[in-house]
């Protein structure tokens, strides 16, 4: 199995445990595409991505990078098509209508660092390591490391990582904003991720999706455009009936009880 997905109480758990070092290749991209088909329409409100994988030497691994060995003998055009497909799949993961938490345990190099950019919130274990070695291989980070990383950590830090290939620790990743929290180990990280997830999983799936889509659409937009996006997203919640459900169950919501929200209706900015 290329990817392992399980679900419980509105939370989807995606675990990496494949290949020699969780490397990402064609089979994994196809599995991600199928995963997006599923999570774009089902009742999951949170996705937690993590890995418990360790190397034979005991080194924890999140994702060691792309599966470049499968590209041996590929033509220039086939490589270009593959990387464009990769980029398109990760854009779908980024836009999933749910709260995506990435828990990074161990090595997250190249594709591993880039994959974290698809998450809404990133938690790093103390032994996690990040880096973009691509320019040392005659290419550049092609799954978001060039196009998106600078928006998360600033242009100077993105240029530093992309142009030097320097590997950085969890503490440094936290300092520059690549991850938002630090944790002791994968168990502590999962406990924290699940605490966040349980709060989000109680909320309206339509409202969660509308907030995320509106926030992402606001990036780079003018103030007038941002206000319009927000207004249309808010009115989407009204039109879907979720606002009425929220008002009718206000006391239960305050008490932390479950509410019979409607089915997901995705807002399109």
> 1 pLDDT band (50/70/90 cuts)?
low
> 256 pLDDT band (50/70/90 cuts)?
confident
pLDDT (average), residues 245-257: 93
pLDDT for position 258: 87
pLDDT for position 2: 73
> 9 pLDDT band (50/70/90 cuts)?
very high
Q: What mean pLDDT value characterizes the chain?
A: 95
pLDDT (average), residues 125-149: 96
- Residue 116 predicted with pLDDT over 70: yes
pLDDT tens digits, 95-105: 999 999 999 99
DSSP codes, the chain: ---EEEEETTEEEEE---TTT--B-HHHHHHHHHHHHHHTTSS--EEEEE---B-TT--BEEE--B-GGGGTT--HHHHHHHHHHHHHHHHHHHT-SSEEEEEE-SEEETHHHHHHTTSSEEEEETT-EEE--GGGGTS--TTTTTTTHHHHH-HHHHHHHHHH---EEHHHHHHHTS-SEEESSHHHHHHHHHHHHHHHHTS-HHHHHHHHHHHHHHTT--HHHHHHHHHHHHHHHHHHTHHHHHHHTHHHHHTT-------------
- Residue 166 predicted with pLDDT over 80: yes
- Residue 261 predicted with pLDDT over 70: yes
Q: Return the percentage of the chain with pLDDT > 70, whole number.
A: 100
Nearest to 112 by CA among 127, 97, 133, 126: 133
pLDDT tens digits, 55-110: 989 999 999 999 989 999 999 999 999 999 999 999 999 999 999 999 999 999 99
């Amino acid at each position: 199995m290329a990817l392992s997905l399980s679900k419980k109480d509105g939370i989807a758990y995606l675990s990496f445990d494949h290949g020699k070092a969780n490397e990402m290749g064609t089979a994994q991209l196809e599995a991600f595409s199928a995963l997006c088909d599923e999570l774009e329409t089902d009742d999951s409100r949170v996705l937690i991505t993590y890995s418990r994988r360790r190397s034979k030497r005991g080194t924890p691994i999140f994702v060691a990078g792309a599966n470049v060995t499968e590209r041996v003998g590929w033509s220039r055009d086939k490589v270009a098509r593959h990387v464009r497909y990769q980029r398109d799949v990760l854009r779908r993961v980024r836009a999933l209508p749910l709260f995506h938490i990435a828990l990074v345990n161990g090595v997250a190099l190249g594709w591993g660092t880039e994959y974290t950019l698809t998450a809404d919130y990133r938690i790093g274990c103390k032994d996690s390591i990040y880096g973009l070695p691509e320019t040392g291989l005659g290419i550049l980070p092609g799954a978001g490391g060039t196009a998106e990383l600078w928006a998360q950590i600033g242009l100077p830090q993105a240029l530093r990582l992309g142009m030097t290939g320097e590997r950085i620790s969890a503490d440094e990743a936290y300092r520059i904003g690549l991850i938002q929290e630090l944790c002791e180990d994968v168990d502590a990280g999962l406990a924290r991720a699940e605490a966040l997830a349980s709060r989000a999983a109680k909320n309206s799936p339509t409202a969660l999706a509308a907030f995320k889509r509106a926030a992402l659409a606001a990036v780079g937009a003018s103030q007038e455009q941002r206000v319009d996006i927000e207004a249309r997203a808010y009115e989407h919640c009204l039109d879907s009936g979720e606002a009425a459900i929220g008002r009718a169950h206000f006391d239960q919501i305050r008490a932390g009880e479950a509410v019979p929200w409607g089915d997901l209706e995705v807002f399109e900015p």
